Each structure stands twice: as C-alpha cells, then as structure tokens.
Structure 1
Amino acid sequence: MDQSFLIMLSNLLHLQNHLDPTTSLLSDSTTTTSATPSSLLTSTSAAPLLFFTIASVLSYISTTRNKPQSSPPPSPTTTSQYSVSAFRALSTERIWAMEAPLRDAQWRSLYGLSYPVFTTVVEKLKPYIAQSNLSLPSDYAVAMVLSRLSLGLSAKTVAKRYSLEPYLVSKITNMVTRLLSTKLYPEFIKIPAGRRRLHETTNSFAEITSLPNICGAIDNTHVRIHKLPPNLPNPNLYMNAYGFRSVQLQVVADHKKIFWDVCVKAPGGVDDATHFRDSLLYNRLISGDIVWEKVVNVKGHPVRPYIVGDWCYPLLSFLLTPFSWNRMGNPAQNAFDEGLMKGRKVVEEAIGLLKGRWSILQDMNVGLNHAPQTIVACCVLHNLCQIAREPEPEVWNEPEESGAVPRVLESEKSHYYFGESLRQVLADDIYQRLSLR
C-alpha cells in the first residue's frame, strides 16, 4: 500500500470522527465500559458504513493500480521456443510420441528436412564439431544453421531468436557450412564412374530424351548477393545480365536431380562458358582424366558418355549443345534439340528444388568470402534430400536463359569437330528411329 493511500485513509478517518463522534468512543478506553450495546446501535449513524465503503473502494483501486501487469502470452517467436531445453524436449521427448508424417513435416518446416535426414547430418558432422570445443550441443548448432539456410534468415535474426550474439551465429554458420562443403562433399557429390550407377544414369536419360549415353545435364544459375564488401575491387564484375549482383553456381545433375559436380568460381558478370572453362570438371574432361568405360555404337560411330547443356556452353566431344536455340534447323536437328532440351530440363528442375529448399540461395546474406562454401553446403544437403526421397518443395523459378553462343578456343578445336560430328550422327539416328514409330 503506497504512502498517498495511507494519507488519504487517515484524512478519511478524521472526517468520520467529525461526522459521528460516537464512533470515537469505540477507541476511548475510559468510556467503552459505560457504552452499552443498545446505546451504540442507536447512536451510530450511516457515516461508519460510508467510511468502510469508501475505504474498501480505495483499497481495491490501490491494489489494482500497484499490482504488476500480467505478461501477455508468449509469442510463437519468443526466444524460449528456440532454447536448448526447448530443442531437447522436441528432439528427445516429443519426437517419438508423434506420428512419423507429422514429425517429419514439423521438422521440415523448422529445418528444411525430415528428422531422419537431420540425424544423419548430425551424426556425420558431430565428430568434427566436437573438435571445435563449441559450447553448444552439436545437434542444436546444426539445427540452428539449417534453420538459417532453409528460411533464409540473417545472422541478426537468428541471434535474436536463439539469444546469441550475431558474431557467434556467423561463426557457427561458417563452421557447419565449411564441414558440409568439405567433409561431406566427397561422399554425396560424386561423378557417376561406377558401372552400375553409370548404366542406371544413361539408361534413365535415354528414356527421357531418346538419346543414348547421356550421363548428366549441366547448367548455371546466379545466386543473388545481399551485400558486397565496401572496399571490393571491381564490384561491377558481380553485376549480371539480369540486373542484380550475384555469384555463379555451375552444377551437373543426373536423372534423379542429384548433383554430381558443383562449381562456384565466377562472379555474376562472367558468362557461362568462361565459368565452365575455369572449372575442375572441364580441365579433367579435356585432359582425358575422366574416362567413362561405357561405349555404344551409333551408325558405326563409337559414342562415349557425354553431358548436355544449352547454347551458352561450347560444343565439345564430351558436351553436346543444341543446333539452334529456336528450333530453326532441319527435321533431324530439331528432333535432336527437342530430346536434348528434355535432358536439360532435369538440371533446371534440380536448381529450382535447390533454391526452393534452401531459401538463403534466393538472397545470400552471408559474407562474400563465405558465399561459395554456403552454396556448396546447400548442394550437399540437396543431394541428401534427393537420396532420401524427401518431398519436393515448390520449385524456384529461374529467369529466362540468355547469352550468346561462345566462340571455340584454339585448344578446343579437335574436341569441337568431334562433338559436331557426334551431334549430327545422333540427330540422324533419333530422327530415323522416331520416323519408324
């Protein structure tokens, strides 16, 4: 009870004594013995009732005014929801009490993948995270990074949610994405060199395209950079043809939309052919370091496995491109182009799934130095999801492809002529087969 209320109550008591003197006798020890109950009843006016009524009202007001305001119900985005204890309760106590579809749907909404795939990632990264002496549990740290990658959150937003400092969130993000892009890359992003996988891939592409021995489809995509460093030399190199700053991601996908090669080397202003020629894959293919054993005979022409790309890539013996971008060739050439573009659609959809699953690739909000490893980490996670046959999210729509046909380098001429001859043989063959149907 505050001081102002006590003063008010004291003044009210004096007023009561003034209005009804008999009430004061109740507090006088010399006169209470001579006052009989009947005299007290008959001499008491309405003033005491008024006094106690007003006092009660004032007491209620005072109590209500001084009572601390009850806190509103916690928001769904309060930090307690993302604490270690809340995560532990969800992952160890509640998770097994839930039906598997509901459990995995909830996990995907939080971390971009189902609970079993999440535990696979944690188990593979746990030994490396343990070596870093991180003060947070390994599964909690991985969950935090996955939520950032899948929801596209900034370090500041994640820090606020998890009651951590932004620099610590960035540090953990860099650590986890580095481990994904280095330690898990060799296991989940591999060229289909084994006989079984190579045959499965080429046979599946043949069903899709009616073209023999395709082992992959290549494409390039731009990953928007949220912010460039202030003192970056030549920042205009990152401005792409679509009008925004980006870095480039080159991928080769198989028929299951699984990437078997990933390269992040070029700023957005570089064309697709230059990025490809700067990649390790190009150097291995043109030097003959990669040799696929499967060879098929088409009209007396030996055809080794090859990849397909659009007109922005150079025509080579191991990379076939369309005759024209607008189907202006002869019937055989148009039949080949149609089949090739069906194969290319696989990699387009794979990129759309990649950006649909990991929203951070729609607007990269990490430092430029850490952008490549973050992009590659998302590609590793994409493969994990595809291998586990995770439900495919809504596909991210890419801008329409544009670019000129690249010139042939002097060092590529022999590969170009061989590719030109091979492409015509395949065009004649597919047109002949389709005509007989």
Structure 2
Amino acid sequence: MDQSFLLMLSNLLHLHNHLDPTSSLLSDTYSPSSSSAASPASLLTSTSAAPLLFFTIASVLSYLAASRSSSSSSSATTPSSPPSAANSEFSVAAFRALSTERIWAMEAPLRDAQWRSSYGLSYPVFTTVVDKLKPYIAQSNLSLPSDYAVAMVLSRLTHGLSAKTLAARYSLEPYLISKITNMVTRLLATKLYREFIKIPVSRRRLVETTQAFEELTSLPNMCGAIDATPIKIRHVPAEANPSAYRCREGFPAVLLQVVADHKKIFWDVCVKAPGGFDDSTHLRESVLYNRLISEDIVWDKVLNVRGHHVRSYIVGDGGFPLLSFLLTPFTWNRTGTPAQNQFDEALMKGRKMVEEAIGLLKGRWKILQDMNVGLDHAPQTIVACCVLHNLCQIAREPEPELWKEPEESGPAPRVLEGEKSFYYRGQTLRQALADDLYQRLSR
C-alpha cells in the first residue's frame, strides 16, 4: 500500500473525528499511540457514510499525487529529446494534414496566400503541377509522396534555399535533396516545356497576340519581344573556363534568352551560352534563330504597309541584330528623325513586356537571383522556373515585386555574311513602319 495514501487517509480520519466525535473511527485498532496501522478493509466495514466519503476523496487525491509523482520522476530521469521529424512542421505528416485536412477548412484567398508564401503557387496551380508530374515521379520509385517532393522543390526555387538548408528543414540528407531537385526540375524542363512554352504559330493565337501588341504600341503585326539576362551562379569548375562565364555585371553567370508575348508569357526560352557571351552571339546559337533564318517558321499573317509586305516580327534592343523578323531601335539616345524617334518609343513599349516578364521570373523564383545548384544542372533549373512562370501567368496569379535589371547599352552587333539579305530587308521594313506610324499619329 502506498505510504502517502495511508498518511493522507490517516489525516482525513483524524480530521473527521475532530469534526464528528460521535462517529469516531479512531478505535483501539488504530490510535496515535498504536504501533500498527489499521487495515483499509477495517475502515471500509464502517456503517457511517462520512468515512466512505473521506475514503473516496483520499483515493482520488492519492491517485493524483501518485500520477504527478510518476510524471515528475520520469521527466527527471529521462533526458529531453528534440521533436522527431514526424512532428516537424515540414514532415510528411504535417504536409498531409495541411493539404488534405486543413486545406478545405480555409477560405480560398487565405489558403492560396499561404501556399504562395511557402511554394510560390496557389493551391490550384500547385495541384496542376503535381498532377502533371506525378506519373513520371512514380516511375522513379521515390520513397516520398509525389506532392511532398514537388512541394519541397518549389520551396527551394521560390526561396532560393540551398540543399543543406533544405535538408535540415526536412530532416533529409543534402544529397537526397539535390537528387529530388534535379529530378523535378528536369521533368518540368522536358515533360512540361512543350505544353506551356509554345511559339504562336496558330492563326488564332497569332492574331490575338499581334492585336494586343498593336493596342499597346500602335505598331502592327508585332508578335513578341526578345531579351537576355544573366543568371548568377556561385561556382564554375576550373575545367569549364571561368572567365567565359563572367558577365558584363562582373559575376559568373549563364545567359538566359526569352521571347515574351503581351501577357508576359514566354513563348521561347534558350539557355545555351555562358554569361560572357553577348546577346547577339547567344541568339545565333539558339534553335529559334536557326528556324527563323532558315524560314522553317513562317508566320502567315502578312500586312501591306506603304507597299511593303510585313510579316509578323519580334522586337529587341540594340544588342540584337536588325533582321527582317527581329526589329531593333534606330538609336538608343533619340538622335534619329522625328519618325524614327517615335518608332523607337513605340518599340520600347513592346519590349517592356519582356523586361517585366524577366523581372517577374526572378521575383517569383528567387533561386534565379543567386543559383545554388551545380553548373550541369543550372540550365534545366532555369527552364523549369520559366515553365512555372508561364503556369502562374496563365492562371493569372498575383504578380510579385519585379526584380530590377541594370540598364544596358553598347554598340550594335555586326551583321554576318549570311544575314545580309535579312538585314537589308529589316532596314526597309523598319523605316516603312516608322513612316506609317508617324503619319497616322500626326493626323
């Protein structure tokens, strides 16, 4: 019998005797001078209700005291241990509770704001990505759930986290984080590229794009704007010639070239050149350039402007060569004729779409501000972010704060021998468009 229980019972009975002497239970079998204690059975044989009440109270108090004593003893003898990964807010269990239990209890705006904060996407767009990647992830025999793996990679892309930081957060080894990142970005860059990054060759889309650009710029038949941006990388292996990767801003980088439409959606992406290349060289290395120069891509919307047949074209800054399918400004400092200056201003309104698209890309996926993946995996990571950017634009996700690019200026690129006919044709078309614009706006 617990000694604390007996002591408590004894005190209660003494108290009862003091309060009600006529029904005393402190008989000869249990007195203060007695050397032996009465048994609990003898106490329970009393016909008085009061002792039973006191006995019940004593039992409860004894149980509570014993429980508290046991708990404190256990905590004193067992060292405290950190919470297990299963209880972590980044565990599979916690993610499953969020995505399957709590998600429907939250209002959509609050739910999507929370998901954008964590993964860069609203919940519906996130589920779209997971549904499209799940069949391919299943083939890899990954031990983690597909949606959990995708969420993990998206958190890395949107916050720019390193593999080591993410490993500590998810209680996994850094090599496994890198493996999962490489798998998910490769799938995004290959399996989803053709679905979400498409040249506007269909008549319907081409008309929609050119009309939108005309409303914006007053220039007819513009179907896109091209630009290039350096993506900073942390380390270039010595065998890869680090000097070739040093961009004009002074840091090691790879060059990203994109063409965007009026909705800031990329319809072409190329990551082929080290950061030390100029925009024109990178363009000439791209598949898009070779398809256009070989006339493999022919936009069938043709307008007559002052007696000239003008097919759809893209616009770029002075770092790109002037070609019949790529029009650039006459000057970069407004030193041309009034018609030329007016054309340049209109062209720059179109170019602003690709500048803002790049700003959104780097603003959404902060890993592109300072890449912490190996050089071999940098291109696929960049393209994966471009695919995710398009998904966000198509879904009309809220636009984050733009990443600001430095201003560029420099000499116009030289014209290659094989480009001369395209260059002369571009000169003629540009001047015709400038004269037509000036005449229309001067009325």
TM range (shorter): 0.7 to 0.9
CA distance in 2, matches of 1:321, 1:216: 12
* Secondary structure, counterpart of 1:232 in structure 2: helix
TM-score between both structures, scaled by the size of structure 1: 0.83
1:307 is matched by which residue type in structure 2?
Answer: I
- Residue 23 of structure 1 is matched in structure 2 by none
Name which of 260, 285, 290 aligns with 2:297.
Answer: 290
Per the alignment, residue 324 of structure 2 pairs with 317
1:255 maps to which residue? 262
Secondary structure of 1:67's aligned partner: helix
Aligned residues: 376
1:78, 1:85 → 2: CA distance? Answer: 6
| Cα drift, residue 300 of structure 1 | 1.5
2:388 pairs with 1:371: no
CA distance in 2, matches of 1:385, 1:79: 32
Residue 94 of structure 1: aligned partner: 102
Gaps of 5+ in 1: 1-31, 35-59
Deviation, 1:404, is 2.1
Q: Which residue is equivalent to 2:204?
A: 196
Query: What 5-or-longer segments of structure 2 have no aligned partner?
Result: 1-32, 36-68
1:315-372: CA deviation from partner (whole Å, max 9, x where unpaired): 0000000000111101000000000000000000000000000000000000000000
**Equivalent residue letter for 1:394:** E
CA contact (8 A) 1:79 1:160 kept: no
- The residue type paired with residue 383 of structure 1 is N
Instruction: Check if 1:243 corresponds to 2:250.
Output: yes
Equivalent position of 1:67 in the other structure: 76
Farther-moved stretch of structure 1 (236-245 vs 308-317): 236-245
- Partners of 2:210 and 2:34 in 1: CA distance: 115
Give 3-state SS (helix, strand or coil) of 1:270's partner: coil
User: How far off is 1:403 after superposition?
Assistant: 2.9
Where does residue 164 of structure 2 map in the other structure? 156
The equivalent residue for 1:361 is 368
In the alignment, structure 1 residue 269 sits paired with structure 2 residue 270 = no
Quote how far apart the aligned CAs of 1:234 are. 1.5
Distance in 2 between the 1:153 and 1:173 partners? 11
Give the secondary-structure state (helix, strand or coil) at the position aligned to 1:81. coil
Corresponding letter in the other structure for 1:162: Y
The equivalent of 2:227 in structure 1 is 219
Find the counterpart in structure 2 of residue 24 from structure 1.
none
Structure-1 residue corresponding to 2:419: 412
Q: Is 1:80 aligned to 2:88, yes or no? A: yes
Judge conservation of contact 1:79–1:161 (CA < 8 Å) in 2: no
The Cα of 1:227 is off from its aligned counterpart by 1.7
**In structure 1, C-alpha distance between the alignment counterparts of 2:134 and 2:410, rounded to whole Å:** 44
Q: CA deviation at 1:68?
A: 6.6
* Residue 306 of structure 2 corresponds to residue 299 of structure 1: yes
Q: TM-score, normalised by structure 2?
A: 0.82
Task: Trace 1:27-42 onto structure 2 (pairs within 5 A).
Answer: none
One-letter amino acid of the structure 2 residue matched with residue 211 of structure 1: L
1:170 matched residue in structure 2: 178
- Does the 8 A contact of 2:318 with 2:409 survive in 1? no
* Residue 383 of structure 1 pairs with residue 390 of structure 2: yes
Give the conservation status (yes or no) of the 8 Å contact 2:225–2:261.
Answer: yes
User: Is the contact between residue 78 and residue 161 of structure 1 (CA under 8 Å) also seen in structure 2?
Assistant: no
How many percent of aligned residue pairs carry the same amino acid? 77
State the alpha-carbon separation in 2 of the partners of residues 247 and 79 from structure 1: 40
User: What displacement does 1:73 show?
Assistant: 10
Cα RMSD after superposing both structures: 2.2
Pairing 1:126–2:139 present: no
Query: 2 CA distance for matches of 1:164 and 1:263?
Result: 33
8 Å Cα contact 1:79/1:162 also seen in 2: no
Letter in 2 for 1:242: E
**CA deviation after TM superposition for structure 1 residue 69, in Å:** 9.6
Secondary structure of the residue that 1:252 maps to in structure 2?
strand
Partner of 2:42: none
Secondary structure class of the residue paired with 1:275 = helix
**1:424 matched to which residue of 2?**
431
Which secondary structure state, in structure 1, belongs to the residue aligned with residue 239 of structure 2? Answer: coil
Find 1:106's aligned residue among 93, 102, 114.
114
The structure-2 alpha-carbon separation of the partners of 1:330 and 1:143, relative to structure 1 and needing over 3 Å to count, comes to same
In structure 1, the partner of 2:147 is 139
Distance in 2 (alpha carbons) for counterparts of 1:330 and 1:139 = 58
